[in-house]
């Protein structure tokens, strides 16, 4: 191999690269003429390739679509170190880092994502940004880790809407001490255009930070002559939960702001959510801005609220207000921008008491309470926020609402506290988009026993217009509620003949932390819903955040809706996205949910868009427990679970996603499926964890294209021993239609699985009389990296398949990518299917194309596969279209080990291996393609062959390598013209063409090295990009 030190030339206009024999690679470096296509002169003695690109084109970027997966990096590791680009006059939409989405797990000390990045950016075009769409996922970082360290950009004369960090949304969990998001960021910003901002749309989620953690540390921007409406932090919405002592949001922020324009502000739209902070916590620590010559209406903090502490008894903010408001002008409101802070109020205190407005024929956008954000702490007994509010609202205009933007913060309330008590509105003939509660976001901490958010709410809603909803945008934050607390208790609405897009709960996003035992979000909710219009749903956009719930906690308990004759696109739960952290034992998301669904319309589903985030669940935790829906005569495209995407981290032993799910599905329409679009992310599961446990569906007479699991794409990282994806799945499938499959589009990503891990364990389906093109596993494409010893993809799979139709197959389109498997790893272990009377063109493995790189010793693709095949039809084959790519296998590696099929009475043209075309490069000593293959073949028909069309490409095999070792077939009574090997054409390792192929591959590796070298040297050469490539047209 040519070493980089052997390359000669001046490095500016020409490079000379020595080769073997007559081969020489000459690279001429000339200015780019605008033509991206280059000419290659191929004479087998010289190559010429020139390309220099100066001035990047539009939408240019330095790093685009970089998605590294970094696990267990060494000390002082960094993703980008010493990057110092000089970028002048970039075109529109240029960016330095676009779409960088690293996944970083368990980094070592002093690790950083970007270290020493010092770009000089002058005269960038509009919408330019330094970091766009950077979404790192950082878990368990070491001490002193930081996301951005030593970033010192110099930004001069940026265009409008320029920003330094746009759309940065890191998820940071369990950071070590002294961790920070931005450390030592010192930008120099001069003459920014209008609407420029330093941080736009930064929404980090930070959970369980260590002591002295901070979001922004040592940020010292110098901002001179900013344009109007400029701001330092815009739209920063961090969610901070369980921070340690001395934590702070902004520490040592010392901006220098000179000559700001009108309406400039330092912090605009900063909305942090901070729960359970420790002592000495502060929001802004050491903030020392220097503000010189600010224009009118400038402010340091915009949106400062009044503080009310220790009021006397019977105090109230508004008492006995009884306005009569008739025909008010547009945008009128009763209470706007009321944001009191109320601490330690006396008994019977209330914010609004006896408010009884009569509102008739209000104009558009009218509301009763707008922007009310009270903070209530340690209120006395019988306190309430709204007591005896009885509005009569008739014929409101569009977009009218009773409570808009109400965001109370309630901490340590006394017993019998409630937010809304005795609210009994009578709402008749509301206009479109009307709602009772819009944007209600209470924060409730340490409520007493029997506390409830809405008690005794008995509304009568008749003939609401389209898009009407009962609760829209309700986002309560509930921390440390007492026993038997509930969010909605005794809610019994009667909803008849609602218009389209009606929903009961829309945009409900409660945050529930440390709730007591027997707590529930919805208890005793028994709606009667009859004849809903299209797109009706019971729960839409429900996104609760549940942290440290007590035992027997559940999100929905005793929910028993009766849904009859729903319209198209109806669903029971739509957009439910709970965040569940540290749940207690026996916790479950849905317990005892027993809906009765009859005659649903097309596209109906039980759970749509359910995306829970589950972290550190206790033992025996489960997402769905005892869910027993009865679904009869569903329409086309119906599904039980659609778009379920849970994120599960550090689950306890025996945890499972679906436990005891026993649906009875009869006569489903076409394209019906049980689980569609299920994409769980599972990290660090405990022993015996499983995704689906005890799932025993009974499926009878499914229509065409029906499938049990469609689009299941779990991401599994660091699973414990004996972990499995599907355990004890025993479906009974009878008389499936054409193209039916058990698992379709299953694409798990499995990284660092423990010993004895397996993807499918104990899967024993009974499949009888399947239609044509039926298959057990279709489109299964797992990505498996660094599996432990004895790991296997399919273990103990024992399907019983009787009377399959033509073109049936057990595994179709299985394309695993396996990298760095451990010793004794195998793809299929102990697969013992019993196949009787298969139709023509049946095959066991069709289109299996694994990519296997750097396998360990004794690795094998198929181990202990012992199918029993009786009376196969013509053209049947065991392995069809198997095309593995195997690179750098270890010693004693083999493709097929211990394969012992028993084949009796095969038809004509039957074969064991058809179209097997492995590509094997750099195999080790004693490597072999087939080891210990001992088929028993009795009474085969004419033209039978054992291996047909086997064409391996083997490059650089070691000594003692062999293609077939220990092949001992037992062939009894074969017919005429039978042959053992037909059409086998292995490559000759000493042929001239193969030598040229090897030399070409060597040149390709060299060219890759050249590209890397020139990418590093492009800035020193004064050019934006230099690319070198070689195409050997004579060989290819």
Residue-wise pLDDT for 970-980, tens only, equals 555 555 555 55
Q: How confident is the model at residue 242 (pLDDT cuts 50, 70, 90)?
A: low
Pick the range with the lowest mean pLDDT from 28-42, 50-64, 529-543, 818-832: 28-42
Between 269 and 741, the higher pLDDT residue: 741
DSSP letter string, 51-73: -EE-S--TT-EEEES---EEES-
Average pLDDT in the chain: 54
d(CA 68, CA 53): 26
Question: What pLDDT score does 879 carry?
Answer: 72
Q: What CA–CA distance (Å, rounded) separates 950 from 153? A: 59
Q: Rounded to whole angstroms, what are the CA distances from 523 to 292, 444, 559?
A: 57, 18, 7
Count of Cβ atoms closer than 10 Å to residue 779 Cβ: 18
Q: Is the pLDDT of residue 209 over 60?
A: no
Lowest mean pLDDT among 54-63, 374-383, 807-816, 822-831: 54-63
- What is d(CA 523, CA 36) in angstroms, rounded to the nearest whole number? 66
Chain center to CA of 958: 43
Nearest one of 519, 508, 509, 661 to 583, comparing CA atoms:
519
Q: Indicate the pLDDT class of residue 1035, thresholds 50, 70 and 90.
A: very low
3-state SS string over 102-144? CEEECCCCCCEEEECCCCEEECCCCCCEEEECCCCEEECCCCC
3-state SS string over 650-719? CCCCCCEEEECCCCEEECCCCCCEEEECCCCEEECCCCCCEEEECCCCEEECCCCCCEEEECCCCEEECC
- % residues pLDDT > 90 (the chain): 0
Over 60: is that where the pLDDT of 667 sits? no
Does the pLDDT value for residue 610 go beyond 60? yes
Banded pLDDT at 257 (limits 50, 70, 90):
low
Model pLDDT, residue 223: 56
Residue 30 has pLDDT above 50, yes or no: no
Quote the CA–CA distance of 724 and 702 in Å, as a whole number: 28
Q: Other CB atoms closer than 10 Å to residue 1003's CB: what's the count?
A: 22
State the Cα–Cα distance between residues 232 and 238, nearest whole angstrom.
Answer: 15
Confidence label for 50 from pLDDT (cuts 50, 70 and 90): very low
With a cut of 60, say whether residue 816 has pLDDT above it: yes
φ and ψ at residue 71, rounded to 5 degrees? -125, 130
* CA torsion angle 816 820 821 822 (round to 10): 180
Beta bridge partners of 801: 767, 835
Question: Using CA atoms, how far apart are residues 266 and 264, in angstroms rounded to an integer?
Answer: 7
Average pLDDT of the residues in 809-825:
63
Q: How far is CA 895 from the centre of its chain?
A: 34
Task: Compute the average pLDDT of residues 163-171.
Answer: 60
Placement of tokens 């699973």 in the chain: 719
pLDDT band at 634 (very low <50, low <70, confident <90, very high): low
Find the range with the poorest average confidence among 626-635, 877-886, 891-900.
626-635
> How would you write 827-861 as a 3-class SS string?
EEECCCCEEECCCCCCEEEECCCCEEECCCCCCEE
Give the whole-angstrom CA distance, residue 59 versus residue 92: 6
Q: Does residue 828 have a pLDDT over 60?
A: yes
**Residues ≥6 apart with Cβ < 8 Å to 992:** none
Q: From 489, 663, 521, 510, select the one nearest 587 (Cα to Cα).
A: 521
State the average pLDDT over residues 311-319: 46
Measure the CA–CA gap between 953 and 969, rounded to whole angstroms. Answer: 24
953 to 409, 445, 1005: CA distances (angstroms): 69, 68, 19
Tokens representing 719 are 């699973």
Per-residue pLDDT for 262 more than 60? no
Q: What's the CA gap between 1032 and 842, in Å, rounded?
A: 41
Rounded to an integer, the average pLDDT of 603-607 is: 59
Nearest to 649 by CA among 688, 613, 622, 690: 613
Spatial distance between the Cα atoms of 751 and 787, rounded to a whole number of angstroms: 7
Q: Which two tokens stand for residue 458?
A: 């008995």
The helix or strand, by DSSP H or E, that contains position 996, with its residue range, turns out to be helix 992-1017
> What pLDDT score was predicted for residue 584?
55
pLDDT at 912 exceeding the cut of 50: yes
| Per-residue three-class SS string for 717-767 | ECCCCCCEEEECCCCEEECCCCCCEEEECCCCEEECCCCCCEEEECCCCEE
pLDDT at 921 exceeding the cut of 60:
yes
Q: What CA–CA distance (Å, rounded) separates 130 from 166?
A: 8
Percent composition of the chain: helix, strand, coil (DSSP 3-state, to 5): 5, 40, 60
Residue 970, SS3 per DSSP = strand
Q: Is 1000 helix (H, G, I), strand (E, B) or coil?
A: helix
Looking at the predicted structure, is the pLDDT value of residue 14 above 60?
Answer: no
Whether residue 286 has pLDDT greater than 50: no
Task: Using pLDDT thresholds of 50, 70 and 90, give the confidence band for residue 1011.
Answer: very low
Q: 767-788 pLDDT, tens per residue?
A: 555 555 656 676 666 666 665 5
What is d(CA 491, CA 500) in angstroms, rounded to the nearest whole number?
22
Q: Which of 440-449, 712-721, 815-824, 1004-1013 has the lowest mean pLDDT?
A: 1004-1013
Question: In terms of Cα–Cα distance, which of 711, 720, 639, 724 is closest to 686?
Answer: 720
pLDDT value for 256:
56
Neighbouring residues of 1022: CB distance < 8 A, sequence distance ≥ 6: none
Segments of 872-1030 assigned E as strands: 877-880, 885-887, 894-897, 902-904, 911-914, 919-921, 928-931, 936-938, 945-948, 953-955, 962-965, 970-972, 979-982, 1025-1026
Residue 1013: what are its φ and ψ, rounded to 5°? -65, -45
**Lowest mean pLDDT, pick from 92-96, 619-623, 995-999:** 995-999
Q: Which of 38-52, 190-204, 556-570 has the lowest mean pLDDT?
A: 38-52
Q: Which two tokens stand for residue 29?
A: 């470096």
Q: What is the predicted pLDDT for the residue at 862?
A: 72
Q: What phi-psi label fits residue 127: left (phi over 0), alpha (psi between -120 and 50 degrees) or beta? A: left
CA dist 605 and 573 (Å) reads 8
Average pLDDT over residues 745-749: 64
Q: What tokens were used for 683?
A: 């990290």
CA angle, 520 then 526 then 527, to 5°: 125
- Name the phi and psi angles at 596, rounded to 5: -110, 115
Structure tokens at 693: 């446990």
Residues ≥6 apart with Cβ < 8 Å to 1016 = none
Segment 738-757 shows an average pLDDT of 61
Instruction: Reply yes or no on whether the pLDDT at 761 is more than 50.
Output: yes
| pLDDT tens digits along 111-154 | 566 656 656 555 555 555 566 556 565 555 555 555 565 665 65
Residue pair 650/684 in contact (Cβ under 8 Å)? The answer is yes
Given this model, what pLDDT does residue 110 score?
A: 58
67 vs 761: which has the higher pLDDT: 761
């Amino acid at each position: 191999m040519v070493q980089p030190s052997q390359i000669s030339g001046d490095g500016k206009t020409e490079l000379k690269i020595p080769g073997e024999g007559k081969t020489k690679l000459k690279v001429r470096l000339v200015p780019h003429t605008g033509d991206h296509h280059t000419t290659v002169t191929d004479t087998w003695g010289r190559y010429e390739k020139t390309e220099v690109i100066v001035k990047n084109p539009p939408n240019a970027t330095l790093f685009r679509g970089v998605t590294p997966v970094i696990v267990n990096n060494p000390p002082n590791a960094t993703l980008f170190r010493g990057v110092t680009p000089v970028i002048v006059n970039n075109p529109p939409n240029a960016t330095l880092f676009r779409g960088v989405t690293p996944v970083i797990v368990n980094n070592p000390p002093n690790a950083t994502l970007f270290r020493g990045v010092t770009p000089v950016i002058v005269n960038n075009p509009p919408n330019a940004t330094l970091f766009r769409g950077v979404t790192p996922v950082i878990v368990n970082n070491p001490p002193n880790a930081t996301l951005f360290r030593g970033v010192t950009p110099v930004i001069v004369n940026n265009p409008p809407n320029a920003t330094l960090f746009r759309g940065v949304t890191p998820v940071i969990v369990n950071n070590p001490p002294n961790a920070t998001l931005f450390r030592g960021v010192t930008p120099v910003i001069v003459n920014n255009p209008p609407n420029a901002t330093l941080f736009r749309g930064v929404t980090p989620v930070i959970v369980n930070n260590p002591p002295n953690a901070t979001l922004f540390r040592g940020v010292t921007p110098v901002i001179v002559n900013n344009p109007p409406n400029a701001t330092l932090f815009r739209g920063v919405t961090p969610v901070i939960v369980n921070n340690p002592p001395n934590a702070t949001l902004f520490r040592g922020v010392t901006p220098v702001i000179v000559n700001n324009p009108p309406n400039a502000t330092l912090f605009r739209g900063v909305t942090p959510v901070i729960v359970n902070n420790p002592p000495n916590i502060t929001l802004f620590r050491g903030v020392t801005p220097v503000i010189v010559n600010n224009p009118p209406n400038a402010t340091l903090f915009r949106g400062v609220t009044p503080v009310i502490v220790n009021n006397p008894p019977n105090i109230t903010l508004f008492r006995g207000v009884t306005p009569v408001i008739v025909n008010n002008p547009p945008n009128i409101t009763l209470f706007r921008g009321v944001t009191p802070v109320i601490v330690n109020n006396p008994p019977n205190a209330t914010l609004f008491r006896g408010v009884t407005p009569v509102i008739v024929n209000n104009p558009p956008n009218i509301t009763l309470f707008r922007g009310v954000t009270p903070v209530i702490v340690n209120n006395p007994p019988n306190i309430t926020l709204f007591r005896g509010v009885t509005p009569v609202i008739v014929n409101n205009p569009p977009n009218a609402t009773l409570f808009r933007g109400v965001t109370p913060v309630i901490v340590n309330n006394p017993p019998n506290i409630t937010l809304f008590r005795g609210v009994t509105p009578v709402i008749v003939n509301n206009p479109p988009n009307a709602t009772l509660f819009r944007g209600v976001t209470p924060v409730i901490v340490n409520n007493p026993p029997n506390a409830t958010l809405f008690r005794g709410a008995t509304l009568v809603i008749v003939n609401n217009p389209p898009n009407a909803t009962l609760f829209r945008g309700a986002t309560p934050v509930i921390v440390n509620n007492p026993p038997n607390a509930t969010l909605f208790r005794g809610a019994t609405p009667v909803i008849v003949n609602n218009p389209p897009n009606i929903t009961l709960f829309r945009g409900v996003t409660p945050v529930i932390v440390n709730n007591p035992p027997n707590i529930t979000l919805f208890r005793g909710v028994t709606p009667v819903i009859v004849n809903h219009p299209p797109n009706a749903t019971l729960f839409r956009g429900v996104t609760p955040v549940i942290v440290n719930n007590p035992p027997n906690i559940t999100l929905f308990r005793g929910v028993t809706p009766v849904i009859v004759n729903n319209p198209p696109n109806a669903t029971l739960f739509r957009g439910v996205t709970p965040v569940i952290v540290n749940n207690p034992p026996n916790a479950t998301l849905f317990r005892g949910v027993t809906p009765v669904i009859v005659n649903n319309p097309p596209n109906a589903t039980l759970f749509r868009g359910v995306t829970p985030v589950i972290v550190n669940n206790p033992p025996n935790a489960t997402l769905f427990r005892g869910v027993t829906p009865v679904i009869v005569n569903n329409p086309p495209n119906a599904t039980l679970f659609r778009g379920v995407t849970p994120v599960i981290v550090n689950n306890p032993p025996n945890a499972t996603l679906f436990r005891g799910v026993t649906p009875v599905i009869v006569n489903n329409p076409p394209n019906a499926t049980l689980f569609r679009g299920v994409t769980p992310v599972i990290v660090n599961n405990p022993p015996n964890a499983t995704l689906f446990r005890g799932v025993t569906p009974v499926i009878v007479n499914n229509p065409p294209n029906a499938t049990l699991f469609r689009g299941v794409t779990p991401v599994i990282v660091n699973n414990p021993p004996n972990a499995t994806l599907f355990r004890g799945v025993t479906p009974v499938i009878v008389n499936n239609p054409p193209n039916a499959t058990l698992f379709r589009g299953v694409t798990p990503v499995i990284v660092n699985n423990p010993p004895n891990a397996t993807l499918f364990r104990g899967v024993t389906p009974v499949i009888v009389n399947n239609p044509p093109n039926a298959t057990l596993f279709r489109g299964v494409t797992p990505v498996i990296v660094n599996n432990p010893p004895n790991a296997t993809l399919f273990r103990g799979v024992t399907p019983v398949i009787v009377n399959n139709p033509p073109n049936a197959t057990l595994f179709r389109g299985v394309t695993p990518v396996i990298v760095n498997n451990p010793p004794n790893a195998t793809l299929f272990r102990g697969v013992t299917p019993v196949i009787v009377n298969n139709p023509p063109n049946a095959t066991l493995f069709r289109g299996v194309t694994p990519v296997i790189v750097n396998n360990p010793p004794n690795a094998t693709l198929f181990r202990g596969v012992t199918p029993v095949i009786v009376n196969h039809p013509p053209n049947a084959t065991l392995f069809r279209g198997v095309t593995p790519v195997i690179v750098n296998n270890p010693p004693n590696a083999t493709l097929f080990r211990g394969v012992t099929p028993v084949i009796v009475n095969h038809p004509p043209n039957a074969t064991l291996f058809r179209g097997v075309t492995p590509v094997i490069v750099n195999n080790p000593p004693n490597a072999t393609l087939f080891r210990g293959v001992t088929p028993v073949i009795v009474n085969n028909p004419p033209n039978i062959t054992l291996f047909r069309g086997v064409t391996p490409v083997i490059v650089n095999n070691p000594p003692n390598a062999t293609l077939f070792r220990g092949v001992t077939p037992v062939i009894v009574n074969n017919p005429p013209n039978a042959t053992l090997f037909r059409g086998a054409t292995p490559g000759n390792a000493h042929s001239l063409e193969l030598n040229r192929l090897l030399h070409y591959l060597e040149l390709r590796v060299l060219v890759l090295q050249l590209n890397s070298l020139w990418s590093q040297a492009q800035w020193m050469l004064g050019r934006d990009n230099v690319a070198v490539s070689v195409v050997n047209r004579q060989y290819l």
